[in-house]
Amino acid sequence: MIDLLLASTSPRRRDLLAAAGLRFELCEPGPEYVQGGDHDHGERGEPRELARQRARRKALGAPGSHRAPVLGVDTVVDLDGIELGKPRDREQAEEMLRALAGRRHLVHTAHCLRAPDGDLVGEQLATSTVSCRAPTQAELERYLDSGQWRGKAGGYGIQDDAQAFLTLVDGAFDTVVGLHVDAVRALLANWSSRESS
C-alpha cells in the first residue's frame, strides 16, 4: 500500500518524502517543458506560473496508474521576476551565484496531484525567501569545485554542505530544497476526503 506515485527524478524530493514517512513509488514524469524549452533556455513567463505549469505537466503527463495518485513537483528560483534555471556548466553556475550575491530572491515550489483516473485533485504553491550574502572568492571556488550545484535551479542547494552563504529568511526550508511536505499532505488530505465522500 502506497500513498502516492512521485513523478520526479530528483533524489532530494525522494529524501524529503521518505523522511516525512510517506509511502511512495517513483514513476516517469510527464514532459517538463513545452517543445523547444529547457533549463538552459527557459520559458517565458512569470516564475510562479512556470513552476505551476511544469508541476501540472509532470503529474498529468505521467504514465497512468490505478494504484495511487500521482504527484508532480517543480521548483523555480526567482530573481526579480526572472527565472534562474539549472546551470549547464560551472561557468553558468558561477554567473548565477554572482547574480544572487548580496541579494534576496524567491524560491517557488509547485505541487500538482493527479487522481488515478486522471482527474486533477489539486495544486499547491509554496514560496520561500532566501538571502545570499556575497561569498568570498575562496568560498565561491570551494562550492563550484564541489559540484554540488549540478542539476539545481539557481545553481545551488541551500542544504549543500559546501556552501555557507545562503540563508532562509522566510517560508519553509524544504520548499527551497524542492518539495514542501505540508503542501503534499494537504493535497493527500483532499484526495482522501474526495475518496471517502
Sign for the CA dihedral angle at 32, 33, 38, 41 comes to negative
Output phi, psi for 63, to 5 deg: -55, 145
* Residue 104 to residue 135: CA distance in whole angstroms: 14
- The active-site residue out of 15, 40, 74, 119 is 74
How many whole angstroms separate alpha carbon 130 and alpha carbon 157? Answer: 11
Q: Which three cell numbers stand for residue 112?
A: 500538482
The x, y and z cell numbers of residue 149, run together, are: 550545484
Query: Which value, to the nearest 10 degrees, does the dihedral of the CA atoms of residues 116, 119, 125, 126 take?
Result: -20
Q: Cα–Cα–Cα angle for 186, 191, 192, nearest 5°?
A: 95
Told to judge if 74 belongs to the known catalytic residues of this protein, a careful annotator would answer yes
Identify the H or E element spanning 7.
Answer: strand 4-7
Which residue numbers are catalytic?
Answer: 74
